Amino acid sequence: MKPATAALKLGVHLPATPAEFQDGMISREELDELQHNPPQWLVELRRNGPHPRNVVAARLRVSNSGLARGGVTEPLTSEQIAALAADPPEWLVRERETLADTKREEQRLAGKRESDAAEKAAAAAGKKPVRKAPAKKAPAKKISKRRAR
């Protein structure tokens, strides 16, 4: 796989990885080895950063879009993330509330879908299927041997 894909799967910022990682293709076996037995550079990147956008968003408990609306366009280090979390600016508080509202609404809709499906299944189980009589076929038209010209 491409280095960018591997970096995404490992949760690290590609430009911060070593040159040998960035230059070559990574096999699935190599990726598995990196995930299960990470080298020191990977451990340091995961601990200190710079972190990719999705990791920053997860650590700040906001969406990727919320980061963009907040003006965060560059990768952040763990120290920068901790500083933002310790003294959250107004946009961060607002985006956390937005994400929480969105998740609550998703849970509400999922519960509604489940209850609707349960009601539908219960209604179907309680009713016998209605068999329709076969439709009567219209009599076939006789084709006259004479055609109107």
pLDDT for residue 142:
61
Per-residue pLDDT band at 79 (split at 50, 70, 90): very high
- Per-residue CA distances from 122 to 112, 116, 117, 129 (Å): 15, 10, 9, 13
Closest CA to 80 of 34, 5, 9, 70: 70
pLDDT for residue 118:
83
- Please report, for the chain, the start and end positions of each structural domain, with discontinuous segments joined by +: 1-48, 50-117
Contact 54, 67 (CB under 8 A): no
Contact 99, 58 (CB under 8 A): no
pLDDT for residue 83:
93
- Whose structure tokens read 């490992």? 10
Mean model confidence pLDDT for the chain? 84
Query: Average pLDDT, stretch 30-37?
Result: 89
- Kindly give, in sequence order, each residue whose CB lies less than 8 Å from that of residue 54, ignoring residues fewer than 6 positions away: 8, 11, 64
Q: Residue 136 pLDDT > 80, yes or no?
A: no
Other beta carbons within 10 Å of 6: 23
pLDDT for residue 100:
92
